[in-house]
Amino acid sequence: MNCHTSLEEAAQDYVDEIRSAAGVVACALVSCDGRVMGKYFWEGSLSSSLFAAMSATVLAAAEAVCGSAHIQRPSTVIITATDATILIVSAGEAALITATIDKSADLPTVQRQLTDIAARIGEVT
């Protein structure tokens, strides 16, 4: 069994842990090529595959920007809007966590929790 298989088998457990963080209203565990491995969204709220692909694209673009500036690969991309925040957290070489966070949440706490989960996922990949 390779690392991708074990990650895919554990994906929904990770998603359940991610969504348990206070303030997470939607989330997905996504492969770096944009494939949804696990998700939690409101029914009909948005296309999870589009959300996943765009999140992977945002992280890849941030990596390219960092590379051109000769700085290390980013671990997190934060997109702040007036009504919510989207966190995209690198989870090793093969995956990322993407989560929509309610504006009322304590963002540093949620970011710390997601970073811890991402580190554990990264150990599997």
Q: Please give the domain boundaries of the chain with CATH numbers for all domains.
A: 3-124 (3.30.450.30)
In the chain, the DSSP E strands lie at 24-31, 36-40, 76-80, 84-91, 95-102
Q: In this predicted structure, what is the pLDDT of residue 1? A: 39
| Averaged pLDDT, groups of 10, the chain, 125 residues long | 61 93 93 87 73 90 96 95 95 92 96 96 83
Cβ neighbours for 95, distance < 8 A, ≥ 6 positions apart: 7, 29, 30, 31, 32, 37, 121, 122, 125
Q: In this predicted structure, what is the pLDDT of residue 44? A: 65
pTM for the predicted model, two decimal places: 0.88
Q: In this predicted structure, what is the pLDDT of residue 70? A: 97
Handedness of CA 23, 25, 31, 32 (dihedral sign): negative
